[in-house]
Amino acid sequence: MIFALAGCRGGPTPPPADLHPDPGYQRVAPAGLGFSVDLPEGWSAAGGSPQTELTLAKPGEPWQFTLAERTPGEKETVGEATDALQEALLKSLAGGSARMIAREEQRTGWLPGRLIQAEAHGGQRLIALWLGAYRRRVYALATAGPPTAQLGMREALDHAIATLRPG
């Protein structure tokens, strides 16, 4: 029993790097971003700047997946960096302004984070954005697409959150 308690003291721990993706999933580790996630097979880079954010697309899917990260500036807190990244990504994913539907602190997988749901273009575009921080680095995973794709978007997002591995 003592050994079990001793292993819990270190805080959140990412999944091991040698753990292979589940069947039907692929490990995505974009050059320029310092982390990887597991996404359903078939997703590949479709745009963005590999140094700040990367957009992924899959043929036949009406929605996109975005990966981003940010390190807080010298005089910036992790919370301020998280808020700034949230604001920038919501604007980028919405193609303008977005209306926040829900915001909650939650834990999916190993790392606690903030889940934002928003809509844009009069409800024609749904955005799910997750932000979490680990060792003074803010990670963001997001999906954006039509409301009819919500189930697939959330399944992929939840799986990616649970398999996030800092580089």
Mean pLDDT across 16-29: 92
Domains recognised in the chain with CATH numbers: 2-166 (3.40.1000.10)
Going by pLDDT thresholds of 50, 70 and 90, the confidence category of residue 49 is: low
Q: The whole model's pTM is what?
A: 0.90
Chain segment 119-157, per-residue pLDDT in tens: 999 999 999 999 999 999 999 999 999 999 999 999 999
Examine the pLDDT at 2 and tell me if it is beyond 80.
no
Average pLDDT (79-88) is: 96
pLDDT tens-digit readout, 51-75: 678 999 999 999 999 999 999 999 9
Backbone angles phi, psi at 161, to 5 degrees: -60, -45
Cα 130 → chain centroid: 5
pLDDT of residue 50: 63
Q: What is the 3-state secondary structure (H, E, C) of the chain?
A: CHHHHHCCCCCCCCCCCCCCCCCCEEEECCCCCCEEEEEECCCEEEECCCCCEEEEECCCCCCEEEEEEECCCCCCCHHHHHHHHHHHHHHHHHCCCCEEEEEEEEEECCEEEEEEEEEECCCCEEEEEEEEEECCEEEEEEEEECHHHHHHHHHHHHHHHHCCEEC
